[in-house]
A and B are shown apart, each in its own frame.
Chain A
């Protein structure tokens, strides 16, 4: 008898154009940047040479690995401002461990673990002390940086030659690797985390938390515990990024990567992540990181000053989010 009543109106369909814009947007942006600089530099064969691409990829490793962790946090509706400080701290810890005579592999683990500890602290502060993520991580931004300077004795910690120093070199040894070990690690981690976010219960709960926290809680998801895991796991990624940073500099510099949190957040946002949570992809964030790396590299090749890069990157962030607004409008 209620047949007529229980029928529901048809589902509004998102326009074809807008749907494709979502998927292809970051790729288009990357293509645009590469084409623009190929033309501007006047020598696409140089800008797109395997040599230059290797340089760009090596430069991207640190932002890329961090953006994997940041993507997860932003999808869950959070933010982490302490990344830059964690990168410095992890680098210093790794360098000190190498100098203490530890096997390099343990030194790397110690650096990664240092990041995890800061992440755990962030998670506990946010859930246990109920400090909003922006403030909690603003606090650890200072704390981690301070500890890094303290244990490093306020100056860079130089390390002897180990394989850690070779992680992100432009020409790997052996040459058949083509790309440096660090680049391969970043690619593998990106694939693994993309699968984890898509295909595991943990991953989907990260989305649920960011999409509607009240709904997640009402469905019996332990949101507090989940958030602690997210920040801790992300901290491990930041720690690894710190190891890569130390590898590039060949020293543990406690003042390095200041302000890089903004680059990393920008990579996620350019890649389609929403600071309101519930949205974002690892692939998008990696593309976002690449867009910024190709831009920086192009500007350098053009001999443009640093401030030009800053203005362009700033404009791209605003444009990316504006396009995002355009495509999400009217979809309800």
Chain B
């Protein structure tokens, strides 16, 4: 039974066309994946469905009746809920208050707290999560529990359709599996889900049907089981991507640039030793929270190491006290896994962001040479393939993939010898990913030493010369990539026979 039907949906923002004819059919109880590169119009379509934006053209039919929400309250009342990429919860309020927000049980304006807790309790129980206390403050709950609170909000509003906009982008692996279990439950109960994600594996795991958006148009749809990844990717980018990972030669007998011996930064990082050679990409696999990020953060002096030694270019440098500024002078570059809060100054221009780690290259006696700065920035924008108007554009206006390219281009501008990259392709679209991979490969080719941390095994196997695995704060020996299989890497990451618990 078709529950939602979209025909020729159009939406313009001034001169730019965000949606240019989207068709979509959603059946009752199905999980429908919405796939497309960043900027293809997925978020705009979500906002149209959720009543936050009004379409300029086309028709929407919900349960056989015309559907034209004027605001988000309308869409909620019509049975459509949105679960946002970042959790939309009020951390200072209780689980019950969050579940029934905007829809509070009341008597003459007075909150009926008893009824509120009972209703929330009922929803949580019906969703098999009696362990969550309706009166617990949401800010004190684990991320997984918070996501359940958000799903329960959708259920409490008697939603028939739940829109999920990249719900896994900030979740550790275990929580992703939990979320998928929840999604299957919802669909078994007849609730339809529209699921946005960049990860094709995820989509294969959870979705029944799909629609591909490209440049604001729906270009393909069908059953996910009937098509190949190549088919999906070629529809997303409009051309076939023959190879995501650039071909590289493994460097031989290169000199060691960075030698790390038994570095530890408790509580997360217990002990890590490795050598990094010129022109090499060394991968580090491991679960989230295993201490991988702490390793590079300790190397870059953002977290304090308590013991161990570091030899950089044959010279012993301070392992336990130092500063990011000193590391940058020593030729180390760091890419944070969290570009929004730690990587980029979103309100500043691309040019400022690119040059901020080495203003000396475009200034004299403390005065910035603005012409020089923008010339250098423009060159990098071209080299790294950042899609932007010019160097003066604000980083906040760029898509996630292009923001990430700015963050990586900054390391190139910094002219770092050793690149510490933490999840360089997280949450970015496939076209940007290909560009980021190309850029990393070029850096290695130029003789830079690259440490690549990733949760995504195909990426490590596609890019790295050698691989080490972090498990509960301990790093295994680095071995050539040909000695590993994805299975053996995963086994090393979850520490053999012990069962891994998240958080």
Contact = CB atoms under 8 A, between A and B. Distances in A.
Query: Are A and B physically bound partners?
Result: yes
Interface of A: 2, 5-14, 199-204, 207-208, 210-212, 214-222, 278-279, 331-332
Contact of B113 (A199, A208, A217, A219): A199
B97 to A, nearest CB: 6
B136 interface: yes
Given A6-B129, A12-B142, A219 B153 contact: yes
7 contacts: A10-B142, A11-B145, A200-B111, A211-B91, A214-B84, A219-B76, A219-B101
Contacts of A204: 93, 97, 104, 111
Contacts of A10: 131, 142
Given A2-B181, A6-B128, A8-B145, A217 B140 contact: no
B73 interface: yes
Given A204-B104, A208-B101, A6 B140 contact: no
A278 B88 contact: no
Given A220-B72, A220-B76, A221-B101, A278 B92 contact: yes
Nearest to A198: B111
A281 to B, nearest CB: 12
A278 B94 CA distance: 12
A208 B144 contact: no
A12 B142 CA distance: 7
A217 B72 contact: yes
A14 to B, nearest CB: 6
Most chain B beta carbons < 10 A, residue from A5, A14, A222 = A5
A9 B502 contact: yes
6 A-B pairs closest in CB distance: A220-B73, A219-B102, A211-B90, A2-B181, A215-B88, A278-B92
A8 B101 contact: no
B365 interface: no
A11 B142 contact: yes
B109 A200 contact: yes
Contact of A2 (B71, B76, B142, B185): B185
B110 A200 contact: yes
B373 interface: no
B132 A8 contact: yes
Given A9-B503, A208-B101, 6 more contacts: A7-B131, A8-B144, A11-B132, A204-B93, A208-B93, A215-B88
Contacts of B128: 6
Contacts of B148: 8
A326 B110 CA distance: 35
Contacts of A208: 90, 93, 97, 101
Contact of B110 (A13, A199, A220): A199
B491 interface: no
Interface residues of B, number: 49
Given A204-B97, A208-B90, A2 B184 contact: yes
B178 interface: yes
B10 to A, nearest CB: 24
A214 B132 contact: no
Interface string B133-152: 10010011110110010000
Contact of A220 (B84, B103, B106, B142): B103
A14 B102 contact: no
A6 B178 contact: yes
Nearest to B84: A218
Interface string B476-503: 0000000000000000000000000111
Contacts of A332: 139-140
A221 B131 CA distance: 28
Nearest to B94: A204
A30 to B, nearest CB: 24
A228 B491 CA distance: 57
Nearest to A211: B90
A316 to B, nearest CB: 24
A207 B90 contact: yes
B318 interface: no
Interface string B29-63: 00000000000000000000010000000000000
Most chain B beta carbons < 10 A, residue from A6, A199, A331 = A6
Given A215-B101, A220-B76, A332-B139, A5 B92 contact: no
A220 B72 CA distance: 5
B438 interface: no
Contact of A216 (B84, B90, B110): B90
Interface in B399-453: none
B230 to A, nearest CB: 30
B307 to A, nearest CB: 24
B88 A212 contact: yes
Contacts of A6: 128-129, 178, 181-182, 185
A217 B132 CA distance: 25
A199 B90 CA distance: 17
Nearest to B100: A219
Contacts of B103: 219-220
Contacts of B142: 8-12
B177 interface: yes
Interface in B89-131: 89-93, 97-98, 101-104, 106, 109-111, 113, 128-129, 131
B97 A8 contact: no
Given A5-B181, A215-B101, A216-B101, A331 B106 contact: no
